[in-house]
Structure 1
């Protein structure tokens, strides 16, 4: 045996000598290149690797204990929240004066009742909701609860434990601006505060009935089908002398039709329809009309609320001398609080906000001090940052800017009119620290006495009790487990309610994501993001990069709290990023310009420019990280996102194909003219103009380079699935190759929090492995497939 081995080695040496030197060199170069590629890429992921990644969320989520979710308060001074326990989650109820917590309800009975109602099976510690609200039942204000599951609202009683789907009374409105006239309005008579009168609509007109003798009084005679009085908007004055309501000119009732190809329980398809107004459609035009119980009528001049996108419900001031409503002008460049004198019907602007770009209407705040409207607290970005102002309600002028500085007020948590004090959350106040972490402060109406109530370098989610005596602070970071503390309103600690235990999670190999900050497109502005590395990360290797994108202007999206296991509109949070990273990628998420919670200028980049998606900032961030980390390979960059993130993912291949090579786009609103009116007109403006075309993914597919996978749920009720089909049509016309996964029955969140999650995620993972790692994926049809309940 030894002799034969020696002979073999001699023969090999002779063959090498006979091999020309130039060819030997070429062979060595090829071998060295292959070795370097293998060293850089690592072995292709196998089926078992996918199983581990797809089961990661379920497996790791069960390893935490006492991780508290944000707190809610009841009207009786008790608080409740969800927390992690052995085997899942529990909802607990507590009160400031007692140390012990108790179950908020009987979880076993609720699981059984809900399963009986919807035909599914639920474990008591795995109820399918994170939050709920109490609802009255039989005189008990806390005798029932309401919650949402997969786009359906449920109500369960806590006595008999019976559950039923919630069917809201009244006439639905498409995205709040067009009434569904196929459904009858809720015409339940609205009783006056003194109990003497009932107001309702008969035909199209307003009627009044005296309850003592049933006498009817017709208040209007001009109602008709195209200008009717809406009984659901009736608002009585506190003194019962007057009522106001809206006369409505109906908008355009656009109906989106979807075919459900594979309905549960039957073979033949079903047709689904939805009222779905889109940008540019005519909206309902509302005009307030004031009536007296004596039969008088006052029409209010609409000069201050002409060309409305929306008017808020009418609200009466506490003394009954005036009423008010909020007005958003079509195009979102003007908002007003319009006040109306009840005696004469004269209207004036109690406060006004204008912008050359957009007013951030979704996050507006107005508080009428003492309920009288003589003073208003208002949030404005007029100085370039989001701050609190005290407004003179008589003329709309600023009496005082309450807060100021290069930071933003996030939310007003409580206002005490008697003490003239405000509690609010803010971010960006601490130089050199993450500008997105929320902290809580209190300040006087005059801007004095600014007091900080939170100190830990973390994001603070604070809920204040209804009586203003207590608050619960749940604070955490992506790398720091939550702590829940009960405190007195002045800030002193009463007790620690929960301290999250993640020791078993750490032992299982969980690693916190890395925060990274780099300068954006202007070379000055800090851009913040997070990086998730493979758990077997080897700094000597080079890893392709995948970006999880969501660039919607309505918020910021890089996670700032601990809980890494959930989902959100932009796609997976940290655990989905880790699952992908473990297959051999660097996975990142970035908040570029155009997203919210920074300066007005930072936010304004999105105006009529959703196609931008902050890409110049994102690419600068990627390059800065690559300059510091040689393993971060920006010659191989992919991207994925959902909804607006899907639009951005497609846009990456259209607008920056030299940087982004591969994209997976879920449920994208690829053309903003095809998507819902509310979100798109807020950022793209009105009327619909050429900027919509410039931002359209469907209109620009000729520029696509790289590899594209489109994923859509057939029954998407959030983004018209025809938007994806139109991209497909345009890609075919342009001769572009692409992949498409259309999930029968799938909703907007298909593959992320609903539908065949494991399957859709596996298809995404496959796509990046094949096109970024250039590696073979498992032969799923020949081998055992990944099940819907991946190995845990």
Structure 2
């Protein structure tokens, strides 16, 4: 016990004394100008560094080999040919020889960069087919003999990077008008559904209570064509939001623009399911509530059955999700899956994959506190955990029905590394034989060969250069290391790579992860203000995990700041409890964790001036950065907020109701930056694009109005014609100037003055 306390006390002693001896960074105008030039110099140097941080494999049709471009110094390129079967890697051809051979054949000069953009295809490792100057040629790479060819066939396979959800639950009702046997088709007249016999043109009415105001629609045939599942629709007009384009070239008047935009609490169109029987000419209402969120999704029928189908229902408010089975003979329903929660179900990360032949469903849920996969018997409703543990299933790549295996990514399985790192796995439906395909420490991204027999694994860390390997999909075994990043070239530029820092959150137990960027010429005897780059949107986590030699954070750090980014509680990709902090509490934004993290960071980085803290963010980050000054003025002193969602009632319905709940309650007003504008302390700079179609510009303008009425001082920049953005190049410069002025007490240079050119 005593041994654990001593280091903390000692660190605190060192911190207090070391900070007492340090002076605050107070640059002169000349020193700041030099810092700005250093940022430009670093950007130029970094753009010249040879990197192969990612490769784009061009797989051949047989899936046994591929080629890719490898960049070389001075913007030159090398073509690499990889034989996956034999595990060999070699230079595919001599670029200069090929360019000369083409020039001799065509009479036109071929530069290396021109060749880079040419269409290439390896017939085999010795014969190259390419398109040059709108003609096709074959090149024998053993002697660089070039011949014309009329064969223009070039196989292209786009190896997808990363993982994608199966799209089964995102498909809407099929709305195919023709019956499965092709003898009839659906026709809607006056809001009612008719079936037309295509041979006799006879029309039979299946409904009679539809109207143009409340029509039937969104229909789907049963597999045997004896029933139609249709929905009686109660449409609601989507209200519009507006903005004015003030500066359209060639005009002298502003142009009013509008778009449909559901805001929190708006009425939505609802859908009531019916079973239309062709033989009886009846319309039977399904014994379930109306669908009040999303359009009806695709139906899933039991194997070899035309009697039972399931559909998905997400209740508005995001607190209940069901897979409902319907008996078409009587309209009765039962819940195959019925998940309910007191907080929220993250609707965008619900995953359902329907195995029709076995009447099973692969289902992703956080019901045990972590996002895991379940195997659901679609007839009995029984669920079995496939994955389990205190870690998170991130994405599902694919489901192998024959082998009964699932390919997925997960975070947090490896206890001794960053819990956000993505790794790739395969597991059997029964939860056995979990295999890690990417065990190496780092954040992984995969792309597969056409037949998925091989994959390319790229992994890195923010301060560890990428390693790229060719691996065997069956067991994850490395066949060949293709590329390995070299940090020495980055070191020569003088750039400082980000440092990873971890500290305990508000509960004293949970690790909070972030990164720290410091000036490349940091003086050990100087204290530098801290600036936080914030985005606390609950829909994801945001601290970078892959190699980051170049970033806006580092550019700002070079001006004399320590810039940090943190994922606090309330963001995703950790436990359900970690995420739930945001529920009806979006203004929290993880600030208690962020503030503790920065205080702990200042112990390790004694150059960090914990008494001078600024913050900036865009969109949800714009809301967060303003909220920092309103709700935590004792800590945050300066904020730059771009296109912020300053009131969750003004912003888009689907995003805000997910976290703030429905119906719209008192929480919306209580946590609004607008209703709390009178609390402003510190220095605030608002940036907004007048043509923002993501977050309505009035969100920022209403905040400005509230600040004015509260007699508060602030700065605001409205950029003509700009959409959802942090202001582009101009906004970035103004952001930097604002921090320099209010954290370093130095007026920015007057860019309106002419600079003498010597």
Common fold by TM > 0.5: yes
- The answer to whether the 8 Å contact 1:247/1:288 transfers is yes
CA distance in 2, matches of 1:209, 1:94: 58
User: How far off its partner does 1:746 sit?
Assistant: 0.8
Pairs within 5 Å for 1:82-121: 85=71
Q: Which residue number in structure 1 is paired with residue 507 of structure 2?
A: 522
Q: Secondary structure at the match of 1:730?
A: helix
User: How far off its partner does 1:47 sit?
Assistant: 4.2
Q: Which residue number in structure 2 is paired with residue 759 of structure 1?
A: 730
- The answer to whether the 8 Å contact 2:570/2:578 transfers is yes
Q: Which residue number in structure 1 is paired with residue 555 of structure 2?
A: 579
User: How far off its partner does 1:217 sit?
Assistant: 3.7
Q: Which residue number in structure 1 is paired with residue 494 of structure 2?
A: 509
CA distance in 2, matches of 1:190, 1:75: 38
- CA gap of 1:465–1:260, structure 2 versus 1, over 3 A, is same
User: How far off its partner does 1:239 sit?
Assistant: 3.8
Pairs within 5 Å for 1:329-478: 329-369=315-355, 371-372=356-357, 374-398=359-383, 400-464=384-448, 468-478=452-462
User: How far off its partner does 1:777 sit?
Assistant: 1.4
- CA gap of 1:427–1:46, structure 2 versus 1, over 3 A, is same
- The answer to whether the 8 Å contact 1:471/1:488 transfers is yes
CA distance in 2, matches of 1:200, 1:51: 69
Pairs within 5 Å for 1:390-789: 390-398=375-383, 400-464=384-448, 468-490=452-474, 491-500=476-485, 503-563=488-548, 575-751=551-727, 757-783=728-754
- The answer to whether the 8 Å contact 2:291/2:313 transfers is no
User: How far off its partner does 1:558 sit?
Assistant: 0.2
Measured against aligned partners, the alpha-carbon deviations of 1:89-139 in whole angstroms (never above 9, x if no partner) come to 99999996797999xxxxxxxxxxxxxxxxxxxx99999xxxxxxxxxxxx
User: How far off its partner does 1:195 sit?
Assistant: 3.4
Q: Secondary structure at the match of 1:308?
A: coil
User: How far off its partner does 1:58 sit?
Assistant: 6.7
- The answer to whether the 8 Å contact 1:516/1:528 transfers is yes
Of 415-424 and 704-713, more deviation after overlay is shown by: 415-424
User: How far off its partner does 1:634 sit?
Assistant: 0.7
CA distance in 1, matches of 2:79, 2:520: 33
CA distance in 2, matches of 1:82, 1:292: 57
1:202 corresponds to 2:200: no
1:261 corresponds to 2:237: no
Of 209-218 and 349-358, more deviation after overlay is shown by: 209-218
CA distance in 2, matches of 1:404, 1:552: 27
User: How far off its partner does 1:196 sit?
Assistant: 3.3
Q: Secondary structure at the match of 1:310?
A: coil
User: How far off its partner does 1:508 sit?
Assistant: 1.9
User: How far off its partner does 1:762 sit?
Assistant: 0.4
- CA gap of 1:368–1:281, structure 2 versus 1, over 3 A, is same
CA distance in 2, matches of 1:664, 1:426: 35
Gaps of 5+ in 2: 1-19, 93-112, 118-151, 154-169
CA distance in 1, matches of 2:712, 2:61: 59
User: How far off its partner does 1:347 sit?
Assistant: 2.4
- CA gap of 1:193–1:488, structure 2 versus 1, over 3 A, is farther
CA distance in 1, matches of 2:62, 2:177: 28
- CA gap of 1:764–1:359, structure 2 versus 1, over 3 A, is same
CA distance in 1, matches of 2:65, 2:408: 20
CA distance in 2, matches of 1:343, 1:125: 66
Q: Secondary structure at the match of 1:780?
A: coil
CA distance in 2, matches of 1:507, 1:716: 41
Q: Which residue number in structure 1 is paired with residue 129 of structure 2?
A: none
Q: Secondary structure at the match of 1:698?
A: coil
Q: Kindly report the root-mean-square deviation, in angstroms, between the aligned alpha carbons of the 2 structures.
A: 3.7
User: How far off its partner does 1:664 sit?
Assistant: 0.2
Query: Across the two proteins, how many residue pairs are aligned to each other?
Result: 661
CA distance in 1, matches of 2:644, 2:485: 36
Q: Secondary structure at the match of 1:552?
A: coil
- CA gap of 1:387–1:293, structure 2 versus 1, over 3 A, is same
User: How far off its partner does 1:682 sit?
Assistant: 0.3
- The answer to whether the 8 Å contact 1:330/1:686 transfers is yes
- CA gap of 1:452–1:357, structure 2 versus 1, over 3 A, is same
- The answer to whether the 8 Å contact 1:93/1:101 transfers is yes
User: How far off its partner does 1:620 sit?
Assistant: 0.3
- CA gap of 1:39–1:83, structure 2 versus 1, over 3 A, is farther
- CA gap of 1:366–1:188, structure 2 versus 1, over 3 A, is closer
CA distance in 2, matches of 1:312, 1:96: 45
User: How far off its partner does 1:627 sit?
Assistant: 1.9
Of 518-527 and 59-68, more deviation after overlay is shown by: 59-68
CA distance in 2, matches of 1:300, 1:96: 58
Q: Secondary structure at the match of 2:556?
A: helix
User: How far off its partner does 1:654 sit?
Assistant: 0.6
CA distance in 2, matches of 1:401, 1:285: 34
1:251 corresponds to 2:236: yes
- CA gap of 1:589–1:472, structure 2 versus 1, over 3 A, is same
Q: Secondary structure at the match of 1:330?
A: coil
- The answer to whether the 8 Å contact 1:64/1:505 transfers is no
Q: Secondary structure at the match of 2:675?
A: helix
Q: Which residue number in structure 2 is paired with residue 301 of structure 1?
A: 286
Measured against aligned partners, the alpha-carbon deviations of 1:437-466 in whole angstroms (never above 9, x if no partner) come to 011122221111122111110011234567
CA distance in 1, matches of 2:677, 2:744: 25
Q: Which residue number in structure 2 is paired with residue 328 of structure 1?
A: 314
- CA gap of 1:92–1:343, structure 2 versus 1, over 3 A, is farther
CA distance in 2, matches of 1:126, 1:730: 56
1:276 corresponds to 2:261: yes
Q: Which residue number in structure 1 is paired with residue 214 of structure 2?
A: 227
Measured against aligned partners, the alpha-carbon deviations of 1:579-623 in whole angstroms (never above 9, x if no partner) come to 100000000000000001111111110000000000000000011
CA distance in 2, matches of 1:692, 1:78: 57
User: How far off its partner does 1:535 sit?
Assistant: 1.0
CA distance in 1, matches of 2:304, 2:449: 27
CA distance in 1, matches of 2:77, 2:213: 51
- The answer to whether the 8 Å contact 1:352/1:396 transfers is no
Pairs within 5 Å for 1:116-127: none
Q: Secondary structure at the match of 2:294?
A: strand
Q: Secondary structure at the match of 1:748?
A: coil
- The answer to whether the 8 Å contact 2:529/2:560 transfers is yes
